[in-house]
């Protein structure tokens, strides 16, 4: 077996057996389940509660219209909590007890507000003639953090005020019901599925790629530094060339990264198939083979590019402190790429920012994958981006291999830039 494969095998087996690898690999799916399922559990707990509201109106008809619409809104699916409406056995509806009062005096208002403060009422809605004329209905609530209750009240008030205004115009109840009946809008992306769900899935994959390239690239740097400071390098050089050592470490740590991502992807698809993470959506349809293939390809290209630079830095430095000082300049293009992503998303995948960032080799891994995932660009742009990244990686690998060849045996003070240029020239 070639020396670089022996080194890669050692790096791989050594790292997947560590406690940190096991903990991070298991912790990430648990964290994602908590983030995605937690809000639904909070809404479920909130949905089973009974809320007692009081509607204060200038006349009984207006108050009754608002009361009826509030109760109707509580029984309808809430578009603002639609993350749970596709789940089988949907959450129980919000229970509302709504009373009506026609006392609009300031003294009564003050007393009711005090009742809300003392939690004798969950909320009071003031809809006097003056309030309706100003198109401003005031809602006092003792629990402003109740998402579903706040949403129900807003929808109920809006529909109730519309109903009252239409009744004043002389429309019949069937006509009013037909006018204010909500229109259901279903969004779909050209590739299929809900655009919001597809967007957040793609964004999660991009951030996963960013974190993986950053983490595993720095792992290469620290692995070289550890062996250099422990003088293991001197023993290894007796049976392997420097270029074989650098290649083996990059391949070994990269295989660890692919293993970790593969476990996360399989866990996500498994959970998604049971509706645990996706609220009834099938993640196997969203995570298409093209998307996953693109993810693996650009992860490998980005990792190869940045791990090569990190290997050179690991050969140059002599301590963990020096590593921390030099790792920021190396990873800065990757960080800038993540900072530019919101701009590229806002302006569209074909904007000038997204176009040039997807072609520049140091920012291309994230941005070209983002463009492919949202709206596939012309094939010549994809091939050009891949070609530029491969060419840049080859050139950097040759330069970094020369630095690595000399730097792994250099101890003492950190070399200056002129000295590093001499290594590149004479190595």
DSSP H helical ranges for 89-139: 106-117, 129-133
Give 115-149 pLDDT, tens digit per residue.
888 888 888 888 887 777 777 788 888 766 566 67
Give how far Cα 226 sits from Cα of 220, 248, 316, Å: 10, 16, 12
* 3 state SS of 361: coil
How, if at all, do strands 123-127 and 95-101 pair? unpaired
**pLDDT, position 412:** 64
* Range list for CATH 3.40.190 in the chain: 48-180
Give 396-418 pLDDT, tens digit per residue.
888 877 777 777 766 666 677 77
- State how far the Cα of 311 lies from the Cα of 316, in Å rounded to an integer: 9
Architecture of the domain spanning 48-180: 3-Layer(aba) Sandwich (3.40)
Give how far Cα 80 sits from Cα of 77, 185, 189, 276, Å: 9, 13, 20, 20
| CB-CB contact of 306 with 390 (8 Å) | no
**pLDDT, position 398:** 81
**pLDDT, position 191:** 47
Instruction: Give, to the nearest 10 degrees, the angle between helix 242-273 and helix 3-16.
Output: 40
**pLDDT, position 43:** 57
Q: 50: which strand partners?
A: 95
- State how far the Cα of 104 lies from the Cα of 58, in Å rounded to an integer: 6
Give mean pLDDT in consecutive 10-residue pieces for the chain, a chain of 427 residues.
82 83 79 64 61 85 81 63 42 72 86 86 83 78 66 77 77 74 58 54 73 79 75 69 79 83 75 53 60 83 85 77 77 84 76 87 87 84 92 85 73 70 70
């Amino acid at each position: 077996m070639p020396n670089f494969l022996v080194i890669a095998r050692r790096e791989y087996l050594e790292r997947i057996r560590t406690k940190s690898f096991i903990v991070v690999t298991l912790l990430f799916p648990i964290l994602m389940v908590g983030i995605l399922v937690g809000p639904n559990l909070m809404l479920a707990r909130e949905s089973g509660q009974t809320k007692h509201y009081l509607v204060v109106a200038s006349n009984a008809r207006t108050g009754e219209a608002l009361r009826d619409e509030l109760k109707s809104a509580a029984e309808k699916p809430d578009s603002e909590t639609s993350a749970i409406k596709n789940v089988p056995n949907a959450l129980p509806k919000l229970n509302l007890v709504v009373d009506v009062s026609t006392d609009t005096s300031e003294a009564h208002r003050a007393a009711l507000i005090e009742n809300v403060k003392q939690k004798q009422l969950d909320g009071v809605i003031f809809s006097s003639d003056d309030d309706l004329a100003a198109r401003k209905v005031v809602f006092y609530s003792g629990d402003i953090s109740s998402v579903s209750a706040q949403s129900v009240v807003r929808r109920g008030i809006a529909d109730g005020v519309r109903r009252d205004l239409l009744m004043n115009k002389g429309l019949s109840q069937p006509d009013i019901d037909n006018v204010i009946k909500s229109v259901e809008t279903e969004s779909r992306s050209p590739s299929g599925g809900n655009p919001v769900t597809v967007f957040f899935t793609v964004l999660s994959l991009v951030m996963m790629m960013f974190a993986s390239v950053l983490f595993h690239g720095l792992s290469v740097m620290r692995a070289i530094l550890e062996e250099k400071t422990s003088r293991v390098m001197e023993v290894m050089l007796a049976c392997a060339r420097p270029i074989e050592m650098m290649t083996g470490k990059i391949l070994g740590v990269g295989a660890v990264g692919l293993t970790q991502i593969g476990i996360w992807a399989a866990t996500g698809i498994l959970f998604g198939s049971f509706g645990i993470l996706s609220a009834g959506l099938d993640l196997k349809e969203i995570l298409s083979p093209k998307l996953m293939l693109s993810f693996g390809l650009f992860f490998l290209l980005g990792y190869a590019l940045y791990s090569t630079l990190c290997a050179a830095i690991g050969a140059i430095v002599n301590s963990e402190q020096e590593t921390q000082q030099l790792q920021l300049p190396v990873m800065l293009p990757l960080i800038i790429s993540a900072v530019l992503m919101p701009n590229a998303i806002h302006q569209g995948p074909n904007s000038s920012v997204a176009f040039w960032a997807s072609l520049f080799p140091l920012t291309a891994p994230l941005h070209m994958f983002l463009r492919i995932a949202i709206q596939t660009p012309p094939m010549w742009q994809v091939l050009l981006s891949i070609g530029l990244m491969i060419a840049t990686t080859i050139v950097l690998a040759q330069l970094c291999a020369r630095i690595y060849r000399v730097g792994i045996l250099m101890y003492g003070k950190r070399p200056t830039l002129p000295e590093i240029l001499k290594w590149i020239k004479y190595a």
